């Protein structure tokens, strides 16, 4: 059975966005696609094969489970896991994660040497080598080794024959802002540390820092590899970028009207009595709610695209249903399609418009799209 909610993912737009990102870097530079959080809500099973076919050189996930899922849908190239996989205290769980990393040829992120011996022993027992990237905190204040600890960590890594340092990276906290001074200080700290540690770095170790913002507009930050995320899906990394890079949103969320009926004046709609009809009202029900990522904060604020116009959301959005006012759309009826999230940036129910309305960012809007939504690859938005 098909879901009542369909996220249409335009494969041609994914290809277009990749071409925009590639134009921002020098020819031949490898790209690592951030495919975490189910490809930012777009469906890794749809996005990963498409980008693999387009030649993207590497993928990245937040967890080993996400990386294993990429292998299951055919991603054969390197996968970098951003999370600190070996940080769990349960020894059996830690062993299972290390074994999965070896089995599926995953590249792990290291931020310290607390489990390095265990990782090396597991790889040695399997007569193999496991690749790691060392992450350095240059000012963001999240996961990462502090710069003074890096030389010692590199020495510890060099002493392990079954663990290979394949990369060193950092992450910017504000490369998407108009004022890039802080990001520039981060880059200077990173490159300065790499120069200091150059004798400890074997040839071929990848240095990387660039997210979508830096990939598009900051060549000095490209180094050996770029790892854009949100740009693949067609959204600028912040409002400061506007739409000057011709990124094209690749997602449209559609459903249908599951019920249409007439309510008299003075009739409540939804939980909490937040909306009461003031006129005879044609009420439409859509089988989508906050469990699907249609946030409750859109209650009495959002709109839904219908045949012939937009219908305002009325009453509180519930877990599985939301209500719209169809009074001014008399030709719309039960079963008719609706667009919950529009791919056109200028529309009031686009990802960017919803983010502005809710005081958040496009990342959050798409990452919250729920598991009940079927993701389907299409090639038709611009047809």
Q: Where are the beta strands (DSSP E) in 196-345?
A: 206-210, 225-226, 251-256, 259-263, 281-286, 303-306, 309-314, 322-325, 337-341
Q: Which helix H or strand E contains 214, and what residues bound it?
A: helix 212-217
Burial of 265 (0-12, 13-18, 19+ CB in 10 A): exposed
Residues near 366 by beta carbon (within 8 Å), at least 6 away in sequence = 40, 41, 42, 233, 235, 251, 351
Q: Is 135 a catalytic residue?
A: no
For residues 213 and 179, the answer to whether their CB atoms sit within 8 Å is: no
Question: Alpha-carbon dihedral of residues 173, 176, 178, 179, nearest 10 degrees?
Answer: 20
Whole-angstrom CA distances from 64 to 37, 45, 117, 314, 378 are: 12, 16, 19, 41, 28
Q: Is 36 a catalytic residue?
A: yes
Alpha helices in 263-361 (DSSP H): 351-358
Q: Which of 135, 233, 261, 271 is catalytic?
A: 271
Closest of 357, 362, 297, 323 to residue 37, by C-alpha: 362
Write the Ramachandran bin of 217: left for phi over 0, alpha for psi from -120 to 50, otherwise beta: alpha
The span from the CA of 230 to the CA of 234, in Å, is: 7
Q: Which of 36, 40, 235, 290 is catalytic?
A: 36
- Residues with a catalytic annotation lie at 36, 271
């Amino acid at each position: 059975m098909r879901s009542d909610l369909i996220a249409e993912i335009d494969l041609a737009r994914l290809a277009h966005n990749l071409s925009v990102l590639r134009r921002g870097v020098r020819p031949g530079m490898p790209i690592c696609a951030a495919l975490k959080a189910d490809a930012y809500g777009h469906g890794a099973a749809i996005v990963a094969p498409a980008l693999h076919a387009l030649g993207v050189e590497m993928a990245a996930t937040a967890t080993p489970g996400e990386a294993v899922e990429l292998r299951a849908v055919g991603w054969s190239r390197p996968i970098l896991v951003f999370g600190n996989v070996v940080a769990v205290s349960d020894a059996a769980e830690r062993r299972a994660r290390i074994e999965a990393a070896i089995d599926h040829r995953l590249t792990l992120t290291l931020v310290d040497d607390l489990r390095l011996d265990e990782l090396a022993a597991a790889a040695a027992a399997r007569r193999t080598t496991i690749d790691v990237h060392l992450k350095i905190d240059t000012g963001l204040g999240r996961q990462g080794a502090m710069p003074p600890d890096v030389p010692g960590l590199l020495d510890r890594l060099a002493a392990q024959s079954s663990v290979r340092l394949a990369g060193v990276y950092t992450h910017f906290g504000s490369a998407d802002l108009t004022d890039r001074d802080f990001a520039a200080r981060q880059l200077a700290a990173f490159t300065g540390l790499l120069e200091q540690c150059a004798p400890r770095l074997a040839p071929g170790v990848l240095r990387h820092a660039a997210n979508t913002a830096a990939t598009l507009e900051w060549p000095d930050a490209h180094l050996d590899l770029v790892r854009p995320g949100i740009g693949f899906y067609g959204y600028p990394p912040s409002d400061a970028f506007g739409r000057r890079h011709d990124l094209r949103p690749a997602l449209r969320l559609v459903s249908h009207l599951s019920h249409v009926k007439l309510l008299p004046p003075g009739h409540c709609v939804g939980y909490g009595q937040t909306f009461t009809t003031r006129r005879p009202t044609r009420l439409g029900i859509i089988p989508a709610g906050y469990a699907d990522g249609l946030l409750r904060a859109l209650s009495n604020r959002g709109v839904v695209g219908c045949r012939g116009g937009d219908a305002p959301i009325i009453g509180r959005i519930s877990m599985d249903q939301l209500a719209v006012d169809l009074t001014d759309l008399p030709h719309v009826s039960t079963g008719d399609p609706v667009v919950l999230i529009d791919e056109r940036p200028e529309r009031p129910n686009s990802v960017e418009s919803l983010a502005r309305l809710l005081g958040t960012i496009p990342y959050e809007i798409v990452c919250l799209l729920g598991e009940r939504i079927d993701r389907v690859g299409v090639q038709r938005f611009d047809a």
